[in-house]
Amino acid sequence: MSTLSREPLPPAAGPTGPLPPAGADPPRVPLALTAVRAVAALVAVAALAVTLWGGIDERGAALAFAVLIGVGELARWSGAEERESAPLAAAGALAYALLGENAGHPTHDGVPQIVAVVTAASLLGCVPHVAKGRGPTADHLTRRVLTVAFAAVCFQPLYNEGRLTEWAGTGPAYAALVVALLLLTALWDAVLAAAMAHARTRWPFGPLLRDELRGTLGIGSAVCATGAVMALAVAVAGLWALPVLCLPLLLTQLSFRRYAAVRTTYRQTIASLARATEIAGYTPAGHARRVAALSRAVGRELGLSGPELTILEYAALMHDIGQLSLVDPVPGGATAALAPAEQRRIALLGGAVVRQTGVAAEVAVVVERQADPYREQPVSASIVRAVNAYEETAGEAGPGGPFRALEELRLGTARDYRPEVVESLARVLARDGLTLPLVG
């Protein structure tokens, strides 16, 4: 442990300013992102140029798909953490990329035309969103262009040369091939999204990819299925299939929206419950929120998955709720300085309150075990414990507090604080500059 504590402290811990590391790191962060965006822009511009030069084949189909994609973009919903915010546009774009026949007649749209139509329609559909300043449009479009280009490059040349029908005929095998191509595209999209998120946030790539893939199982699978069905149904029934297939997918989007809304409300209610201790004067203002944000960052650093992070966040928000049962407040709300038995008693009281609230039982377990020695704790509980202790010490100690707080945590790694968590916390602080808890 001594080697660990001798490690040079992150520059972030300096008292000079809250965000020095953020100032030191960013030049590297957007570089990868800029490169990806530049590639997408290049692809789009090249496709548009080629298409303008050569003219558009199959105007009816191009127009129908463009309208579908444009409307899908218009109906996009800038949800907080949604993986696919414009499912209709995504499905339409994929279907256009994988379009082989239109009502029995083979089509010969080249890759450039497909990319050009999708780009133009998406740009038009995005105009109102950009005008209202909603949602990160650039990344959204980047992903759309690169994903569609991937699908089109995989499918169209093979189809136009007749190889595809040679291999698979026009029966069920062809449908299976389309589905397989879509799966490949979904995989590519997930990798792309995870890579972009990684470039933006510098969270570890593995868990990000896992979360993206899990998201693909939800609305992503509905989008892929609709994309495949659209491509096949247009081949059989012509362009009438498009509006008919829109409605089921819109229903899916609606369900997701309602779910997202109720989740948001729920999170807000939990945060309010957490604020009760602050308003009662048991804990400093903003403490629960800061512990939750920092715990989430540490959990992500340690590679916890999406649902685990939610449990961790809820538990961190409510970790002090047991103090509500105390008749007199603990001075400064600093539970980390209390005797272990007392800490554990408060933790158990908190668990009892949390169990009444209807959140998952795992949350209550984390709250209950937050004061145990780390060897007996689940990882999430040890994260809450370490972050809480850091927050309390760093907040009290004034300038230089973050240094001292980390130092104390490192000294406590024999029994109280899990060493990996403490080191992860140090890395998060160095990176994100969440050092002075008084900020925010």
Partner 1 sequence: MRSVPPWARVYVVCTALAAAFCAVPVPDTRAPWPAVALFAVLCAACELLAASRFAGDGGPEGAGASGEPGASLRWHTPVMLAAAFLLPPPAAALVPLPGALLARVEQRPRRLRRVWRAAQLALSTWAASKVHWSLGGRDAVVTSDFPYALVAAGAAVVAFCLVLTVLDGGILALAERVPVRAAWRGLFLRSLAPVAVHGLAGLMMAVLWRSPYGPAAALLVLLPMYVSWWVFAQYHRERAAHRATIRALVQAVDIKDGYTRGHSERVGQASMMIARELGMDDERAEVLRFAGILHDVGKLGVPTRLLRKDGPLTPEERRVIELHPEYGHEMVRGIGFLGEARSAILHHHERLDGSGYPYGLKGGQIPEFARVVAVADAFDAMTSTRSYRRARPVPVALEELERCAGAQFDPRMVEAFVRALVRQGWHPAVTADETPPHAEPHHPPAPRVPTDPDSGRRTDRAAGPDPRRGTVGGSGSGP
Should residue 120 be labelled a site residue for partner 1 when binding is judged by CB under 8 A? Answer: no
Query: From the list 241, 292, 293, 434, which residue makes contact with partner 1 (rule: CB under 8 A)?
Result: 241
> Which of residues 174 and 374 has its CB atom nearest to partner 1 in the complex?
174
Sign for the CA dihedral angle at 322, 326, 328, 330 comes to negative
All residues at 6 or more sequence positions from 80 whose CB lies less than 8 Å from its CB, including other chains? 260, 264
Q: Least distance from C-beta 2 to partner 1, angstroms?
A: 44
Q: Determine which residue in the list 244, 337, 361, 438 makes contact with partner 1, applying CB under 8 A.
A: 244
Give the closest residue to 291 by CA, choosing from 314, 267, 324, 268.
314
Is residue 421 a contact point for partner 1 (CB under 8 A)? no
How many residues lie near partner 1 (CB under 8 A)?
A: 61
Closer CB to partner 1, 124 or 168, in the complex: 168
Contact 299, 420 (CB under 8 A): no
Compare residues 218 and 303 and give the one whose CB is closer to partner 1. Answer: 218
The secondary structure of residue 219, as a DSSP letter, is I
Answer whether 182's CB lies under 8 Å from 227's CB: yes
Residue choice 179, 199, 304, 429 for contact with partner 1 (CB under 8 A)? 179
Q: Which long-range contacts (CB under 8 A, 24 or more apart) does 202-211 make?
A: 202/25, 202/29, 202/431, 203/300, 203/301, 204/300, 204/301, 204/303, 206/303, 207/300, 207/303, 207/304, 207/305, 210/305, 211/305, 211/306
- 276 contacts partner 1 (rule: CB under 8 A): yes
Cα 6 to Cα 10, 20, 202, 404, 406, distances in angstroms: 11, 21, 25, 13, 12
Is position 339 an interface residue for partner 1 (rule: CB under 8 A)? Answer: no
**Site mask for partner 1 (CB under 8 A), range 343-382, x = bound:** ----------x--xxxx-----------------------
Q: Which is nearer to partner 1, 239 or 397 (CB)?
A: 239
Q: Give contact residues for partner 1 (rule: CB under 8 A).
A: 103, 170-172, 174-176, 179, 218-219, 221-222, 225-226, 228-229, 232-233, 235-238, 240-241, 244-245, 247-249, 251-252, 254-256, 258-259, 262-266, 268-273, 275-276, 279-281, 324, 327-329, 353, 356-359
